[in-house]
Structure 1
Amino acid sequence: MIAFKGFEPGLICRGYPFVLGRNVTDKANCRQNGFHCAENPLDCLTYYPDITHAEFYIVHAGGDLDEDGQDSKISCTELTILKKLTAKELLLHGLAYMADHPLRKLSVNAQWDRGKARDGYAVVRGIDPVASGQLGDILAFAREDAVSGRILQVAVATVDGGRILPDRWYSADFMEREVREP
């Protein structure tokens, strides 16, 4: 199955040096051993929260598989590392996952309706989602239908200091919005 995995720089995970291509181990118990990855790309951010200092890849999880039900984390005995993703690409895959599975539980790394970036990103889902960040942060939006919950629009932008300014609230169409702090 296609999944997503985060690493420390250099394809290192918990001290283990992975290689591009196929990696094999004996056992897959999600709570104890095996090679871990996630079906939902945003769940990788639970284990590698600083998007600016981690590496993210599309992988193929094979062999024996095990899940623990905490999030979309999977343990497998065969992990094939396929393609490195930029931070923006990881977030776009996360938005696509929401669009493909609109009724699944929202990842803990996404926020409802509005969110301020932390660790380099903000992912916000809602009827009219808004987000704010600092220079260099990535803002990702999933605008949904009020009745069906189906995703109508996804958008990703970087706070660049030009088109998207720091400490301002933006919607999925990148229009600046006035938002009152709670």
Structure 2
Amino acid sequence: MPISGPPPESVWVRQTDPRVKPLLADLAREYSSRYHRVLADVHHELREYPVERFSPPDGGLLLLVRDGHAVAGGAFQRYDPETAELKRIWTHRAHRRSGLARRVVAELEAEAERRGYRRVYLTTGPNQPEARELYLASGYTAHFDVSSPPREKPLPFSRILPSAIPARAVGA
């Protein structure tokens, strides 16, 4: 059951911000457990990702912070000139099922759109059914057969951002 309290504050940070450490540590535990990988290896991969990838002007890293602690977060980076790639969507275990991941996705999309991106791309792992359902429920197009059981490869999704959708002609 999610912890109640005031809504968390949205804070854009650099990957080096100390409040990002719990996000990376928890993601490493989650990925290690779900994909049977060595925890230290996963944590090293997450920590060593180039800081500039999630920094302006091409990227960003968002935390939802309550009482000084990150309760959810995520990031985006440039995938191609018109496409932002969402990464590291995370919600602390105690705050899951409370809409925070959907809020993170929406805020990342809005910031990517402000930066001129027209499309969002992301992948999630086959052992993350909650993420798969989040993206489908958030209007993402799956680029795999959703009726088949997930395989061992990442599941790709994309979405056209609202500003890239042409307005309907009047009377059309």
State TM-score, norm by structure 1.
0.29
Which protein has the bigger strand share? 1
Question: Greater helix percent: which structure?
Answer: 2
- Indicate the structure whose relative CO is greater, using CA pairs within 8 Å and at least 6 residues apart: 2
- TM-score (norm. length: structure 2): 0.30
